[in-house]
Structure 1
């Protein structure tokens, strides 16, 4: 019995802690600061109810416990786009659409179990900081589209978000005070072009810069605005199109000079269309 209890406790610890791998930077005397993003928006504010009808909360159920684990975007009435590192084979997911306040029932929520988690074949698995960090989660039954639940448009194949342009990020998650607000958060961010993003990451003295041209970066770099652990898989949108899926960032969140990094949706349309 004792051994079984220890196994269960280890399993819980593995599940709850599995989304915070640290990719080591040279130690600077302040912190190790590179990790897959599993958190919340730094520098954001409350969204209004119905402002992001394409946003979903992917809620993981493990050993009877249920918690918000990742964000996602509705790309058809039966498919959610999220990050590859959100894949989980220990528990099971519910996709909750039409939600705004996770702590209360507002009447607009639709909750459907995820039937299949399809990860991009190029993604190495686990919680690797790597290209191909994208997945399609299919649902057991279709969502009913309405004012609070809507499909977001996908971008044109190969399109590159312009550096300096404005995009919008949304998600539930940890803020500057290390709290996890129940109200959906949002913030406007600025797109950073690939070369500038690569240079900023190089300036952080990483031994192995994982940035590829299938990713997209955002700032601002010095205003304490970033993704953080729990935003994973959530949407980066621009002009009504889904241009990015939250993938990884620098730890601590909002670190000066550090961009937020997303999987670029326009680079993966073949995979998405094959699996909707």
Structure 2
């Protein structure tokens, strides 16, 4: 225990989001000082109180040398943390009212500085955790050595890419590097003996690799949790009920073939979409053009998200869309099986055909995915739309001010990443536009809906006619 005296255990009374019957969350933490404990946010999030356990190799009800109860007001999780996004900002700080008494079996560990770089793949780290080797047994302190993988492999196997992976090393006991209970534990450099990361969990999609967050990203929060400004929360599933996602194999998309010609079919690009009815989905033409199939995800923010495969015969591209421009960049997907509407899946009404976007003081709400501190989140924000003529000087010659309009984006609210999201009028709560293009430092282009209502509401074009239109345009 003297070799791992900085490792602590966390017990929290909380229902697990994936297991309603689980009453206790057991995690690991590390001791930063006599009053500061660091762990994962998901270990303590919304718990009315937690217990901090220190100075023991085995954590069980019968074997706890030090057990301190900490109330909710002394627990701070990162203000950007969301349960809906695995790994993102998953860190929390516990402040003890009564200082720990340091001894041979209870002590602290230092953090690396802000300038520390995790860029040497040959560097070995040691991972510590109170592992639960079975569902009913105690939590046993273990450690194992591991290497972290490259940023390129990281980005290709998991997002957000700022979550780093360490590969399986020589672990004790059962040979597993990470097991339940290890979340929140320290990752220590064998070079300098300091904390370089915090264990986040296991990502089964990458062969069960353990994931940890680089501690350098959270030094400001650790030193002063109040120094990190909170951002408006991401949307709840109910608030995003009419938003869907489109994922398409990049190598087939006409607009991206040059960039992803050598990619394999599993490399997918994601776009937003809009649920118009139980069988109709609206998105951008360039998001689906050329793809032999795409996947539509509804109830996207829920753990019960539904993914549907759609083939090209179910996709209609607006006949006036040209790849070289932005106008008429719209497509409609017709589902073969109707969606089941519920609290988290629903539709949005369209504006009337005579609706005119000619009041610059009117506020609209834009929905879509944005990137905040490297993490993708589905957000909404209010803005005012601008006449296309005002944006044209700032945009490329391909911008058609006769058919398109634009809006500005507050960069502090995040960087727009995915297009295809809806623009809703705050006046009548109906769909007035669809975002189609975003370029850094420039206004965001959107397509007004009212001029396209005849096309949106008419019967779907058959697959043969769609192919003729595509061939005519040379796609």
Instruction: Name the TM-score class by shorter chain.
Output: 0.5 to 0.7
Q: Trace 1:63-212 onto structure 2 (pairs within 5 A).
A: 67=24, 69-103=26-60, 109-115=65-71, 116-124=74-82, 126=83, 128-161=85-118, 162-175=120-133, 180-199=137-156, 201=157, 209-212=158-161
Q: Scaled by the length of structure 2, what TM-score is found? A: 0.40
Q: CA deviation at 1:178?
A: 6.1
Residues 156 and 100 (structure 1), Cα distance of their counterparts in 2 relative to 1, 3 Å cut: same
The two structures, once aligned, show a CA RMSD in angstroms of: 3.0
Q: CA deviation at 1:193?
A: 2.4
2:61 and 2:9 map into 1 onto residues whose CA distance is 14
Residues 51 and 104 (structure 1), Cα distance of their counterparts in 2 relative to 1, 3 Å cut: farther
**2:203/2:211 contact within 8 Å kept:** no
Residues 141 and 127 (structure 1), Cα distance of their counterparts in 2 relative to 1, 3 Å cut: farther
2:131 and 2:142 map into 1 onto residues whose CA distance is 8
2:139 and 2:224 map into 1 onto residues whose CA distance is 34
Residues 225 and 182 (structure 1), Cα distance of their counterparts in 2 relative to 1, 3 Å cut: closer
Residues 261 and 86 (structure 1), Cα distance of their counterparts in 2 relative to 1, 3 Å cut: same
Alignment deviations for residues 170-194 of structure 1 (CA, whole Å, 9 cap, x no partner): 212233x667454312211112222
**1:117/1:136 contact within 8 Å kept:** yes
Q: Which runs of 5+ in 2 are unaligned?
A: 16-21, 227-475
Q: Which runs of 4+ in 1 moved over 6 A?
A: 104-107, 221-224
1:77 and 1:212 map into 2 onto residues whose CA distance is 33
Kindly name which structure, 1 or 2, has the bigger radius of gyration based on alpha carbons: 2
**1:158/1:267 contact within 8 Å kept:** no
1:212 and 1:197 map into 2 onto residues whose CA distance is 6
Residues 179 and 219 (structure 1), Cα distance of their counterparts in 2 relative to 1, 3 Å cut: farther
Alignment deviations for residues 11-68 of structure 1 (CA, whole Å, 9 cap, x no partner): xxxxxxxxxxxxxxxxxxxxxxxxxxxxxxxxxxxxxx322101001112469x9856
2:381 matched residue in structure 1: none
Matched positions, count: 212
